[in-house]
Amino acid sequence: MSIEKKIRKAVLDAPAYHLKTEEGIKLNQNESPWDIPVHLKTEIIEKLLQTPWNRYPLGDIVPLKKKLAKLLNLWPDNLVFANGSNVLIQAIIMACAVNDKIMVLDPTFSVYELQGQLLGNTIIKYPLDENFEFDRDALIATVKKQKPKVLFIANPNAPTGNLYNLNMMRAIVEECPCLVVVDEAYYPFSGTTVINWVRQYDNLIVLRTFSKAFAMGGVRFGYLAADADIATQIEKCLLPFCISKLTAACVDTVLDHPEYVENYTSDICKERDRVVEEMKNIPGITVYPTKANFVLFKCEDSQTVFRRVLNEGVILRDVSNPTTLAKTLRVSIGTKEENNAFLSALKKAI
């Protein structure tokens, strides 16, 4: 029997999410360059020693939701937890759009489109202008005309790094007759959030992750905040027990220690602004404004630049595509030393 007879067409047509493992300074996945502090790891391990691993994580999630909800000034019922916000993107689409329509900005984070396609949806791509901005009223008019079930907006956007302002976001949430997912993966670096609006708008879903500012990409934890009725329905689309006791112990511990996140974030933001300024002085590249922990830039022959920088031991992300992101590369902000290595490799490559 051929593969076409065994596997759905939407799956066969979808590209795989591949990332090559290269050796070098890793500035290609917007991770934190620092691990979580060792004393917190010790605290987590001590908690895990007290926890029975043979039991399913039944009682672990409710207190954790209470704790996080209190910090966010929301109710526990507003929150859904998963092993990464990618998983929540899938659950949201599964809950509201199968063989239907979803809408994304173009360019944006690829997983919305990928998961949308896997579930048989048509993807409406709303093209951003050359500064990755859009006309608010035109976007709302497109939503009204096309009637997608869900609109995804990453804010700051990825891989572009720009931030859409709160007036813009409020108009979109108020006027779009669909679910609006605001993906705040990079929120700690921008300081701009709409999370408190979930008490007001029942079509708003805010996505967050612990993979970036919280330095826990390897642990896998993300959450969403939404109207309680919406949250309940989306939770049904997750598999039972997707948060392990190990993850719960990590999250529980780091929530008591926001200071390391604040320190890391403020160091990254300072370094980001320094790197951007230095990059602006390099002839032949265009640097885009960013409020995230990465910088997008454009240069002639970006593939050669990518390879030359790699030969100098620094791994970038080639995010280019011929239509909306021609000749662009993305660099994550690392430690001061890593960023200096990147800057000198880039100068040499150019």
Chain residues binding ligand PMP by CB under 6 A are 84-86, 109, 154, 158, 183, 185, 209, 211, 217, 222
In angstroms, what is the minimal distance from the CB of 319 to ligand PMP? 11
Min separation Cβ 83 and ligand PMP, Å:
8
Nearer of residues 210 and 297 to ligand PMP, judged by Cβ: 210
Give, in degrees to the nearest 5, the angle at Cα 18 between 15 and 21.
Answer: 165
DSSP letter string, 104-146: EEES--HHHHHHHHHTT-EEEEEE--TTS---HHHHHHHHHHH
> Between 154 and 309, whose beta carbon lies closer to ligand PMP?
154
Amino acid at 305: V
Distance CA 339, CA 208 (A): 26
Shortest Cβ 90–ligand PMP spacing (Å): 10
CB of 29 to ligand PMP, least distance (A): 7
Rank residues 57 and 222 by Cβ distance to ligand PMP and give the closer one: 222
If one counts every other C-beta atom within 10 angstroms of the C-beta of residue 165, the result is 10
Q: Which residues is 101 bridged to in the sheet? A: 122
Q: Please, which residue, 109 or 164, has the CB nearer to ligand PMP?
A: 109
End-to-end CA distance of the chain: 51
Minimum CB distance to ligand PMP smaller for 83 or for 253: 83
SS3 assignment, position 342 = helix
Q: How many CB atoms lie within 10 A of CB 18?
A: 5
Phi first, then psi: give them for residue 113, nearest 5 degrees.
-65, -45
Exposed/middle/buried for 125, CB within 10 Å: 0-12, 13-18, 19+? Answer: middle
Nearer to ligand PMP, 251 or 345 (CB): 251
For the chain, strand residue ranges (E) read: 25-26, 79-82, 101-106, 122-127, 150-154, 179-183, 204-209, 222-226, 285-287, 294-299, 314-315, 317-318, 328-332
For residue 306, the minimal CB distance to ligand PMP (Å) is: 19
203 or 211: whose CB is closer to ligand PMP?
Answer: 211
* Residues 6 or more apart in contact with residue 42 via CB below 8 angstroms: none
| Nearer of residues 198 and 343 to ligand PMP, judged by Cβ | 198
